[in-house]
Amino acid sequence: MAEASISVEQDQFVCSVCLDLLKDPVTIPCGHSYCMNCIAGYWNKKGQKNVYSCPQCRQTFSPRPALGKNTILAEMVEKLKKSKVQVAVPAGAGDVECDVCTGRKHKAVKSCLVCLESYCQTHFYRHEEFRSGNPHKVIDATGRLQQMICPQHEKKLELYCRTDQRCICHLCKKDEHKNHNTVAALTERKKKQKQLEQTKRNFQQRIQQREKDLKELREVVQNHKRSTQAEVEHSEKIFTEMIHSIERSRSEMTQLIRAREKTVVSRAEEFMVKLKQDIDDLRTKNREIEQLSHTEDHIHFLQSFRPFSAPPDLTNAVIITVNTRIFYDDVRKSVSVLKRTLEHFCKEVTGKISGRARYIEVLLSSEEEDEEEDEEDLQCNCHCLDPPQSRSHCPGNSENQGQNPNPPQPSCCPNTYSPDSPD
């Protein structure tokens, strides 16, 4: 009866707003108690038109009641804390419920592996007091207690059958597992714990190796990027200089053509002046011949007659025309040859650079284990972690090795890198 009264009193020490132990408890006019901050915050948020209500019974108050600390409740809460008895908290969604609570279930904090029950803080305290002479094995609250019971005999699973590789109870050992290799669950746990520790060490070693490989590969990539950027800048500089050189050659060629044009035009203009003078002289002589040929006075004709010189040769104009045409044809051909040569040279050099470019290739290599037993344990644990479908396609499967003469390396092997330069 004393324990029942304690349980009722403890429920009164829980704030219905925060569902925790009362802090600075206050009692409002309806008789319900809350944390001072909880009820003040509730009224600040829910109070409307100067009307305030109790979160539990919904009784309304107006004006807002003054809040004063309930010293008696505060002392009782402090004594409760000193007695190391904690108040049970109602179970929420996803929480393990107490198997002893009736009515409203509280959140379980511990599970007993002997009684196969979960307890809230209040009932766990009673359980520990009752079992103080013979303590039971308890763990943090778990919802897997039913999986620790034999579904056939409803007894605790305490043995392990190595033949069938499953947990059994004592009745199972006497029945269907009678002649099987069975050991205590703790014994099998220790054995598999050692295998698991070795597997863990193997994984840690491989993690360290992969981290080392990753670090080195990152350094290689960074060096490659820096080298690439330097080569790009160098190539840009060279091509810029080539462009400037071509621009200079173009300017020089233009000046050369213009100079040739100026020379030819100058000589042609001089020759044109001479031709014009010759034309004027020829026209003057032609008029004289015309007048003389029409005179009727024979004596005058004979006295005035004189031989006229022949017109000058015009081969210089033809030579200028031919030489100019030949010069421009040579220039055009030379520029075309220069263009084709430059394009061919660029393609040839670019092809050589592409063929000699360095690249990084990531290879897969297997690690040799120091002990064959450790490797088998590792493969066994890998099979336990992988579904059967994935194991059927594992590179280490003997059937797959028979079908593929060159089986790929296992994916669990570390990645290594090797720069390849076909220089």
**Would you state the pLDDT for residue 88?**
57
Is residue 383 very low, low, confident or very high in pLDDT (cuts 50, 70, 90)? very low
**Would you state the pLDDT for residue 394?**
42
State which of 180, 201, 231 marks the end of a domain.
180
Q: Answer whether residue 111 is part of any domain.
A: no
CA distance 34 to 42: 10
147-204 pLDDT, tens digit each: 788 888 878 888 999 999 989 988 898 888 888 999 998 899 999 999 999 999 999 9
CB within 8 Å of 166: residues ≥ 6 apart: 160
Higher-scoring residue by pLDDT: 406, 198: 198
Number of domains in the chain: 2
CA distance 186 to 5: 41
Q: Answer whether residue 174 is part of any domain.
A: yes
Higher-scoring residue by pLDDT: 11, 158: 158
According to the per-residue pLDDT averaged within each range, which of 293-297, 396-400, 401-405, 412-416 is highest?
293-297
CA distance 296 to 261: 54
Claim to verify: residue 160 and residue 78 sit in the same structural domain: no
Q: Answer whether residue 105 is part of any domain.
A: no
Give the pLDDT mean for 372-377: 49
Q: Answer whether residue 4 is part of any domain.
A: yes
Give the pLDDT mean for 129-134: 74
Claim to verify: residue 4 and residue 82 sit in the same structural domain: yes
Which residue blocks in 13-70 are alpha helix, DSSP H? 36-46
Question: Domain of 30: which CATH number?
Answer: 3.30.40.10
Is residue 81 very low, low, confident or very high in pLDDT (cuts 50, 70, 90)? low
210-233 pLDDT, tens digit each: 999 999 999 999 999 999 899 899
CA dihedral sign of residues 356, 360, 365, 370: positive
CA distance 217 to 36: 61
Higher-scoring residue by pLDDT: 192, 325: 192
**Would you state the pLDDT for residue 105?**
80
**Would you state the pLDDT for residue 75?**
85
- Amino acid type, 99: D
In 3-state terms the chain splits into helix, strand, coil percentages (rounded to 5) of: 55, 10, 30
What H or E segment, with its residue span, contains residue 204? Answer: helix 185-293
Q: Answer whether residue 48 is part of any domain.
A: yes
Question: Domain of 160: which CATH number?
Answer: 3.30.160.60
Q: Answer whether residue 268 is part of any domain.
A: no
Claim to verify: residue 80 and residue 9 sit in the same structural domain: yes
According to the per-residue pLDDT averaged within each range, which of 23-37, 133-147, 312-326 is highest?
23-37
**Would you state the pLDDT for residue 117?**
83
Full residue range of the structural domain in which residue 174 is found: 149-180
Q: Answer whether residue 31 is part of any domain.
A: yes
As a whole number, the mean pLDDT across the chain is 76
State which of 134, 164, 180 marks the end of a domain.
180
* Residue 241 confidence (pLDDT) above 50: yes
Q: Answer whether residue 155 is part of any domain.
A: yes
Strands lying side by side in the sheet with 166-168:
166-168, 159-161, 182-184
**Would you state the pLDDT for residue 240?**
92
State which of 140, 164, 180 marks the end of a domain.
180
